[in-house]
Structure 1
Amino acid sequence: MTRSKIIFISLAAMLGMGVADQAKAQFKVDATFRNSTEPGWTFSGNDNAGNNDSGILTGGYGLIADGNNTNDAVGNGWLRLSTDLAGQVGSARYTGGSFPSSQGVIVEFDYVAWSGTGADGISFYLYDANETMAGAIPGAGLGYCDGAGGYLGIGLDEFGNFSGQLPSVFGGCSALSGSPGSAADRVVVRGPLSANNVYVGGAAAPGGIDVPFTAIRPAADRARVLLIPNGTGGYRVTVGLGQNGGAIANVLNNLNFPYAAPANLRMGFGGSTGGLNNIHEVRGVVTSTPANIVVTKTAASATNYLRGLPMTYTVTVTNADINPVDPGNQAPTINGANAADIVDTLPAQIANATWTCTATAGSTCPAASGSGNLSFAGGYTMAPGGVLTFTITGTVATTSTCGATVSNTASANFSATDGFADIDPSNNSASATFTVRCPSLTVSKVSVDGVGTFGFTGTNGIQSHSITTSTAGTAVAGATQTLTAAGVATTITEAVPPAPFELRSVACTGLGTGGTATVDLATRSVTLNAQATSTAGPISCTFTNETRKTDLSVVKTASPTSAISGSIVDFSLTVANNGPLDASNVLLSDAPGAGLNCLSPSSTAVCTASGGASCPSPTVAVSTLLGGGITIPTLPVGGQVVVTLRCTVTATGLP
């Protein structure tokens, strides 16, 4: 026999009774059989001469005279159904309770068959709770056939005689059982005593069942038995085998077991030998009520969650049907004390998470709403087919890495102490994945009538940067800016441009739905509202600068227009702005012709202004005017500045 093998035995059925029957207390048993006692169980078997009995617990039993030096300590023992002698029969029956046949049951247990010459096998059976299985026969009957109240037996048949019948099989099951004949290493299902322990079905057990001729107890295999009513008082049986811890493959699929069950059932184990023998042992028995919890998790989008914006997960937990063959939903009613633990630990990329829960009719949520992770150790109820829907809303954290893939898993699993066990753990968790996207923005610069270097700053992650134009009138894009968060108002500001440029316009494209861009030329800025940045972009904002141009005029007059040497002449310099732009810091200078001394009779000139213009001061130094020039601070369109100075004529002779 191949070791570390898993055997999966499923008896699936439809209830066909009411919800009230399904809601009965769960049948939960946890029997390790590792110690010297096991509460709730009744053991029997051959009392052989010497210290080598069947139907015993080996933990703390002492040295067993089985030729293998078996001496298991308390905590490391087994239920020994049969020792390696001929004609043995042993049993272990759970007499500490029963379960209604309207309720499904899952039983899991470890088993080993070893040491002997290769016979006969182990049985797991259900029997009428009002009977005792008295009369069950050893050998080919595996301690099940002919047992009073025996209802359903599953044999791990090593030698093959559990498949056979009398008279061809010595000690076999009834000659009226309709057996197909002996076949070794099979999983065999037999019916109730009332139907002559009829042969219902069987299938080969790949890899075998036992390890004979060994003095060392082999590694344990594990069997799983699932019982669900079929709606007509009987059961559905599916038997699957898994080799070496691998995936389960069904060998009997939804086998119908059509025999009406007694109102209440108990379970038991049998082990027996005939002319050939083996040690048959079992431990680690766990019995629960079957359920099928199914979890789904979805994100509204797998690729379009923006950093800083809300995102939503939807998690559903369904109490699904446990019988896919017969009509109706055969899921049990799950009570709060035995409900599966629901867990969804949100990733760090989700901030400020809140959730709501809704339940379909007949089911209840653990709470209507809350914040943070989902973490519920029961505390809710689920009707057959009931669904809990959790809607989780959070914000993609602004610390999330752009382009990061974020995975998150939600799960719902029964704990070891819950009265239920899941028949399909593969669907008890579900994951959703999304990619963090970050909004991007690019500033472009156009400079008209010249080129230059222009600086920019901004909010919401826009870095200080500069753009140098190379061709007048041609746009140049700056470095792409990654915004800290989408959905946040963002301002871009141009630094004071180099003279003689000024900002003329700002235009933005690629804005989010409902987005606006508000331009303020006075502050050289544009502000994008929250809707404008609610997009991955790219957003593009183009700043256009032009050189300042306006029509300035200077008129110079002299009075008198003719003079003799030594006389005084008054000169007036009139500066006007004819538009279209206001001017500022206009430089005015004068260069007198030969034959004039403008520093005499006065070293100052008089300045007057009108039309909103301004003088640097009421009087200005003539030397400055005649040198580097004076600066007129403001000269708006229509404004005028008049500078008057007096010069002495130094020229002689005729003109």
Structure 2
Amino acid sequence: MKFQHYCSKFIIPVCASLAFISASAQFTITNPLTTKDFTGIKIGDNASLTAATGADPNGAGWLRLTEAKANQKGYMYVLQGFPTTLGVIADFEYKDWRNVADSYNGADGFCVYLFDASVSDANFKLGGYGGSLGYATYSNPAGTTGLSGGYLGIGLDAYGNYANNGENRHGSAPAGMLTSGMLPNAFVLRGPTSSTYTSSNIYLTSAALGDRTGTVNDIRTRNEIDYNTVTATRPADNIFYRRVQVMITKPGTDYVVTVKWRKENQSDFTQVFTYTLSSAVYPIPANLKLGFSASTGGGFNFQEIRNIILTTPGNLRVDSRSDSYFTCNENSRPVTFKVEVSNDTNAALNSINFNGKILDQNNNLVDFSKFKITGVSYNSSFTNSNLQSSNFTSNEINGVVGLNAKSSGIITVTGQYYKKGIGTNHSFKMVSNISSGQITDTDLTNNTASTVVEVRKCSVISNPMMPSYSK
């Protein structure tokens, strides 16, 4: 299923002023990167929005960091900085695939990085590409420093160089982890950029993924970081799906970096690694920004990102997506929403209030002649639920769910859009709200999620080269 998360630009809900954000350290920043809208982001080198280039329909696009071509590089970062007082969760989805065979089994990989928000756009500079993935130091040209103001660079390395000390990268994974000096199909964490070149972006830790038997090329052929079957079109989510969460918390005097991910047909995240950063050695900037960079060499992939969420950890939060970014006005058809409720606290909560509504563009409840909720289900992560599952009298759901500490659950809401119900060039949305009286929720900016589905005219048009949904 394709889970889409919609908004046209970066949004900081609830916190209406920068003064409030600074005082409370509460924030939620989201962007699906699925449209033509460049608001709030800086894109450079070979990176592009596929909805803007026409590679994908508007509303169904991706941030494409590289094409599946040799010797490419691309980057993007979010212009809005965010406070680090309460920690941070960075959440995103990605695809890493190719439509042309190469002899390297895909390369190189990409990096998600956090850097000091005080670095101006004019002074922003990437680290080396190649195996340094746009973050770390590099040897060509000689003395290439790491990312300006870089704090952490988490490499998702398909080919395997980011974890070694080649090309003037500093520090390396333990020899026992490397295969022929490489660590392909791995998450690799490198540290801050330093004014001292020889200690910049030091190797900190890594996690090798999947089956590690055989040669380094055998490892590269396995579907972990990237998808290794040549395909004419982007692999569907039930074939290859990756969602990553990077969390920074401060449970004591030091910072803890936790990386998790979720693969196709999984409803729960799997922890990749946890690493403790000394606050004395690696003090965190007061504000950070988030970015991505990617590179290719002789091997290559389309390296694509979407559905960025930045928010604070340690509270209740909700996220909502749909399997459809639009529906057709000429046909009645089912629409599915996936609402993920997360309990990031240290306490089990058995009374999380949930409310979900299907609203029109004017925020009015949609009546049954236009759209009707037909079913509600939830996965086994919930410890209890009294949500109505059938015989709905309106397009509104109310109830209570329970979650263990540090866990998430997915509520699936199915419905039926009726032919010509909403009207062409209109939309409807599911708005979900959560709360609980069992805790003091210190960040309410992430307690509401909204997912929009557009209604379009989809009749076949005269030019057979144009997609039918574009009329």
Q: TM-score range by the shorter chain?
A: 0.5 to 0.7
Correspondence list, 1:184-583, <5 A: 184-194=184-194, 195-206=199-210, 207-212=223-228, 213-220=230-237, 221-230=241-250, 235-246=255-266, 247-252=268-273, 254-258=274-278, 259-293=282-316, 320-321=345-346, 341=353, 383=440, 414-416=447-449
Return the letter of the residue paired with 2:256: R
* Secondary structure at the counterpart of residue 448 of structure 2: coil
Q: In the TM superposition, what is the alpha-carbon distance from 1:135 to its structure 2 partner?
A: 3.4
Q: Distance in 2 between matches of 1:42 and 1:29?
A: 15
Q: In the TM superposition, what is the alpha-carbon distance from 1:157 to its structure 2 partner?
A: 0.6
Distance 1:378 1:417, change over 3 A: farther
Q: Distance in 2 between matches of 1:59 and 1:346?
A: 37
Partner of 1:59: 51
Answer yes or no: is the 8 Å Cα contact 1:242–1:249 preserved in 2: yes
Q: In the TM superposition, what is the alpha-carbon distance from 1:153 to its structure 2 partner?
A: 1.1
Q: In the TM superposition, what is the alpha-carbon distance from 1:270 to its structure 2 partner?
A: 1.1
Is 1:162 paired with 2:182? no
Partner of 1:101: 84
Which stretches of structure 1, 4 residues or more, deviate above 6 A after TM superposition?
20-23, 343-347
Q: In the TM superposition, what is the alpha-carbon distance from 1:42 to its structure 2 partner?
A: 0.7
Q: Distance in 1 between matches of 2:301 and 2:57?
A: 22
Q: In the TM superposition, what is the alpha-carbon distance from 1:377 to its structure 2 partner?
A: 6.1
Answer yes or no: is the 8 Å Cα contact 1:127–1:265 preserved in 2: yes
Partner of 1:44: 44
Return the letter of the residue paired with 1:182: M
Q: Distance in 2 between matches of 1:255 and 1:186?
A: 15
Answer yes or no: is the 8 Å Cα contact 2:315–2:442 preserved in 1: no
Return the letter of the residue paired with 2:83: P
**CA distances 1:29-75 after superposition (whole Å, capped 9, x unpaired):** 22111111231111001xxxxxxxx211110313xxxxxxxx31211
Distance 1:42 1:243, change over 3 A: closer
**CA distances 1:74-120 after superposition (whole Å, capped 9, x unpaired):** 1121111011222222111001x212222222222221111153001
Q: In the TM superposition, what is the alpha-carbon distance from 1:234 to its structure 2 partner?
A: 5.2
Q: Distance in 1 between matches of 2:72 and 2:208?
A: 25
Q: In the TM superposition, what is the alpha-carbon distance from 1:189 to its structure 2 partner?
A: 1.1
Partner of 1:140: 131
Aligned length: 288
Q: Distance in 2 between matches of 1:380 and 1:248?
A: 26
* Greater relative contact order structure (CA < 8 Å, 6+ sep): 2
Partner of 1:638: none
Answer yes or no: is the 8 Å Cα contact 1:4–1:244 preserved in 2: no
Distance 1:193 1:342, change over 3 A: same
Answer yes or no: is the 8 Å Cα contact 1:22–1:103 preserved in 2: no
Partner of 2:336: none
Distance 1:173 1:191, change over 3 A: farther
Answer yes or no: is the 8 Å Cα contact 1:100–1:265 preserved in 2: yes
Q: In the TM superposition, what is the alpha-carbon distance from 1:128 to its structure 2 partner?
A: 0.6
Identity of aligned residues (%): 33
Distance 1:22 1:226, change over 3 A: farther
Distance 1:231 1:39, change over 3 A: same
Q: CA RMSD in A?
A: 3.9
Choose 1 or 2 for highest CA Rg: 1
Partner of 1:72: 56
Q: Distance in 2 between matches of 1:187 and 1:56?
A: 24
Partner of 2:327: none
Distance 1:242 1:269, change over 3 A: same
Answer yes or no: is the 8 Å Cα contact 1:126–1:265 preserved in 2: yes
* Secondary structure at the counterpart of residue 270 of structure 1: strand
Q: In the TM superposition, what is the alpha-carbon distance from 1:133 to its structure 2 partner?
A: 4.2
Q: Distance in 2 between matches of 1:284 and 1:385?
A: 24
Answer yes or no: is the 8 Å Cα contact 2:90–2:245 preserved in 1: yes
**CA distances 1:555-596 after superposition (whole Å, capped 9, x unpaired):** xxxxxxxxxxxxxxxxxxxxxxxxxxxxxxxxxxxxxxxxxx
Return the letter of the residue paired with 2:276: N
Q: Distance in 1 between matches of 2:90 and 2:302?
A: 22
Partner of 2:143: none
Correspondence list, 1:162-181, <5 A: 162-166=162-166, 172=167, 174=169, 176-180=170-174, 181=181
Q: Distance in 2 between matches of 1:74 and 1:384?
A: 36
* Secondary structure at the counterpart of residue 30 of structure 1: strand
**CA distances 1:106-145 after superposition (whole Å, capped 9, x unpaired):** 2222211111530011211100112254032212111111
* Secondary structure at the counterpart of residue 162 of structure 2: helix
Distance 1:385 1:377, change over 3 A: closer
**CA distances 1:458-484 after superposition (whole Å, capped 9, x unpaired):** xxxxxxxxxxxxxxxxxxxxxxxxxxx
Answer yes or no: is the 8 Å Cα contact 2:83–2:286 preserved in 1: yes
Answer yes or no: is the 8 Å Cα contact 2:244–2:259 preserved in 1: no
Distance 1:151 1:173, change over 3 A: farther
Greater fraction strand: 1
Q: Distance in 1 between matches of 2:125 and 2:23?
A: 32
Distance 1:22 1:129, change over 3 A: closer
Answer yes or no: is the 8 Å Cα contact 1:21–1:102 preserved in 2: no
Distance 1:26 1:173, change over 3 A: farther
Q: Distance in 2 between matches of 1:86 and 1:281?
A: 16
Return the letter of the residue paired with 2:270: A
Structure 1 alignment gaps of length 5 or more: 6-19, 46-53, 63-70, 167-171, 295-317, 325-339, 348-374, 387-412, 419-655
Answer yes or no: is the 8 Å Cα contact 1:164–1:173 preserved in 2: no
Answer yes or no: is the 8 Å Cα contact 1:155–1:189 preserved in 2: yes
Q: TM-score, normalised by structure 1?
A: 0.39
Q: Distance in 1 between matches of 2:186 and 2:224?
A: 8
Answer yes or no: is the 8 Å Cα contact 2:90–2:308 preserved in 1: yes
Partner of 2:116: 128
Q: TM-score, normalised by structure 2?
A: 0.53
Partner of 1:84: 68
Q: Distance in 2 between matches of 1:179 and 1:200?
A: 8
Q: Distance in 2 between matches of 1:243 and 1:210?
A: 11
